[in-house]
């Protein structure tokens, strides 16, 4: 029997999990605008000089080697449903029996004016390097002028990404930047802005309290119940009418599906692909959705969270579903197995919650390090990351604080 032709749009967590799980049971083609997978959970460490950027990028062709799959660099621009083909921006037309849409998400501005113009998103290696350069360039200005100018770095969003970013910034300033030029470092203020009453609302209140305390120890100013109304050049405006000067504004307040899904003539619902619990797109049984752009729901009836374990579990599940279709077997419904949440605040400081089990402190921190290394793709990347982390740990330094976005 001929193998089904499976075309996967997006070579991120979900797309590559699908390809790996299908292995040699399908004729696989992965399409992505980048020729590498980005390990998004460590972007904040690139942005704060903790690790080198290339440690969190893995070549998609390398990931596909075991499956015998092909890779096309490009973006889909349309689907021909009658002939079951997808057209790329290169004008290539690729036929499929099954199409898997796993194109992830982009920074969400929630309609707030100025976010895209004045905020720095953190959804790609390029954006992380821009944040790093912006902070380091402003720091160099502080070192040069040596006056009482204060540099305000504001992180918006009190979820794990915002908390990790703010904590890592606090460590960068208190450690390496302080050692380089103490006066300049003491003129930098870090703010973490959150609309809700607390950071990390997905964790138990006791873990949030610990995280907030650790952030404050690192010099992070917490601004809770502070909904952002708009961003403008050098300023952040709040819903209560107040404003604050802000020189660097990192937007970590949330994500929404990749806008590319709206070009594919498939149904959408609530900014996601309209998806059955079988992970098929409604009315299109040969098209599957995986990861951040998929509209599958949890037992509470709400969309599943846009996190890597959901994308990977859905990828493996869709691979099994495609096998079931090939064998003429009945399809199953996707059920997410939530293995818990974790976030790190800094050296020896992290929190983990697995159902009722709550862990914090060094054990949680080592657990966080181990799991991130485990899921990072590629031996070279793991060795590079261990080298950077060990260097940072032993020397209290950060070797990657270069400004590399200019000639």
Ligand X SMILES: Cc1cc2nc3c(=O)[nH]c(=O)nc-3n(C[C@H](O)[C@H](O)[C@H](O)COP(=O)(O)OP(=O)(O)OC[C@H]3O[C@@H](n4cnc5c(N)ncnc54)[C@H](O)[C@@H]3O)c2cc1C
Is residue 103 involved in binding ligand X (CB under 6 A)? yes
Q: x/- binding map, residues 117-156, to ligand X, per CB under 6 A?
A: -----xx---------------------------------
Is residue 85 involved in binding ligand X (CB under 6 A)? no
Is residue 33 involved in binding ligand X (CB under 6 A)? yes
Among 189, 204, 203, 254, CA closest to 227: 254
Is residue 99 involved in binding ligand X (CB under 6 A)? no
Q: Give the distance from CA 13 to its chain's centroid.
A: 10
Q: Cβ 178 to ligand X, closest distance in Å?
A: 26
Distances (CA, A) of 381 to 69, 77, 346: 22, 32, 21
Q: Give the distance from CA 229 to its chain's centroid.
A: 24
User: CB-based contacts of 322: which residues, under 8 Å, 6+ apart?
Assistant: 4, 6, 22, 26, 98, 288
User: Which residues 209-238 are close enough to bind ligand X by CB under 6 A?
Assistant: none
Is residue 346 involved in binding ligand X (CB under 6 A)? no
Distances (CA, A) of 372 to 122, 125, 140, 279, 309: 18, 17, 32, 27, 12
Binding part of the chain for ligand X, among 79-87, 99-107, 136-144, 225-233 by CB under 6 A, reads: 99-107
Q: Which is nearer to ligand X, 27 or 292 (CB)?
A: 292
Task: Supply the DSSP string of 246-273, one letter for each residue.
Answer: -SEEEE-S-EEE-GGGGGSS--EETTEE
Is residue 162 involved in binding ligand X (CB under 6 A)? no
Antiparallel, parallel or unpaired: β 27-32 and 5-9: parallel
Is residue 158 involved in binding ligand X (CB under 6 A)? no
Tell which one of 119, 175, 291, 378 touches ligand X (CB under 6 A). 291
Binding part of the chain for ligand X, among 28-36, 190-198, 204-212, 327-335 by CB under 6 A, reads: 28-36
Q: x/- binding map, residues 297-316, to ligand X, per CB under 6 A?
A: ---------xxxx-x-----
Tell which one of 260, 289, 345, 359 touches ligand X (CB under 6 A). 260
Q: How many CA atoms lie within 13 A of 246 on its CB side?
A: 29
Q: Which is nearer to ligand X, 163 or 218 (CB)?
A: 163
Q: Cβ 144 to ligand X, closest distance in Å?
A: 31
Is residue 15 involved in binding ligand X (CB under 6 A)? yes
Instruction: Give the active site residues.
Output: 164
Q: Cβ 4 to ligand X, closest distance in Å?
A: 21
Q: Which is nearer to ligand X, 60 or 185 (CB)?
A: 60
Q: Give the distance from CA 44 to its chain's centroid.
A: 9
CA distance 224 to 215: 13
Q: Which is nearer to ligand X, 33 or 229 (CB)?
A: 33
Radius of gyration of the chain (CA): 22
Binding part of the chain for ligand X, among 6-14, 79-87, 173-181, 277-285 by CB under 6 A, reads: 6-14
Distances (CA, A) of 31 to 60, 76, 84, 91, 266: 9, 8, 16, 13, 18
Q: Cβ 125 to ligand X, closest distance in Å?
A: 11
Reported residue count of the chain is: 407
User: Which residues 50-79 are close enough to bind ligand X by CB under 6 A?
Assistant: 75
DSSP state of 108: -
Residues within the interface to ligand X (CB under 6 A): 10-15, 32-34, 37, 40-41, 43-44, 75, 102-104, 122-123, 160-161, 258, 260, 291-292, 306-309, 311
């Amino acid at each position: 029997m001929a193998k089904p032709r499976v075309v996967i749009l997006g070579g991120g967590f979900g797309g590559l999990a699908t390809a790996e799980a299908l292995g040699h049971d399908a004729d696989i083609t992965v399409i992505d605008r980048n020729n590498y997978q980005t390990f998004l959970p460590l972007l904040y460490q690139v942005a704060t000089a903790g690790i080198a950027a290339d440690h969190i990028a893995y070549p998609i062709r390398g990931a596909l080697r075991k499956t015998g799959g092909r890779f096309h660099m490009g973006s889909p621009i349309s689907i021909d449903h009658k002939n079951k083909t997808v057209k790329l921006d290169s004008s290539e037309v690729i036929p499929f029996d099954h199409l898997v849409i796993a194109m992830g998400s982009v920074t969400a501005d929630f309609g707030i004016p100025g976010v895209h113009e004045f905020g720095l998103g953190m959804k790609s290696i390029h954006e992380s390097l821009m944040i790093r350069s912006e902070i380091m360039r402003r720091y160099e200005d502080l070192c040069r002028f040596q006056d009482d100018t204060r540099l305000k770095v504001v992180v918006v969003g009190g979820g794990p990404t915002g908390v990790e970013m703010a904590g890592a910034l606090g460590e960068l300033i208190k450690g390496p930047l302080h050692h380089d030029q103490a006066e300049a470092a003491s003129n930098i203020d870090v703010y973490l802005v959150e609309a809700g009453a607390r950071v990390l609302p997905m964790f138990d209140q006791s873990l949030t309290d610990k995280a907030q305390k650790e952030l404050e120890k690192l010099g992070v100013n917490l601004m809770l119940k502070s909904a952002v109304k708009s961003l403008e050049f050098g300023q952040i405006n709040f819903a209560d009418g107040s404003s604050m000067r802000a020189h660097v504004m990192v937007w970590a307040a949330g994500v929404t599906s990749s806008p590319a899904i709206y070009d594919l003539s498939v149904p959408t619902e609530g900014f996601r692909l309209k998806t059955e619990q079988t992970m098929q797109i409604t009315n299109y049984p040969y098209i599957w959705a995986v990861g951040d752009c998929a509209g599958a729901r949890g037992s509470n009836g709400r969309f599943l969270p846009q996190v890597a374990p959901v994308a990977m579990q859905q990828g493996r599940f869709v691979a099994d579903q495609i096998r079931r279709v090939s064998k003429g077997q009945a399809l199953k419904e996707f059920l997410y197995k939530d293995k818990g949440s974790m976030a790190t605040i800094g050296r020896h400081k992290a929190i983990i919650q697995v159902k009722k089990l709550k862990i914090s402190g060094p054990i949680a921190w080592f657990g966080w390090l181990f799991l991130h290394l485990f899921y990072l793709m590629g031996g070279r990347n793991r060795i590079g990351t261990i080298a950077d982390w060990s260097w940072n740990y032993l020397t209290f330094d950060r070797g990657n604080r270069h400004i590399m976005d200019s000639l």
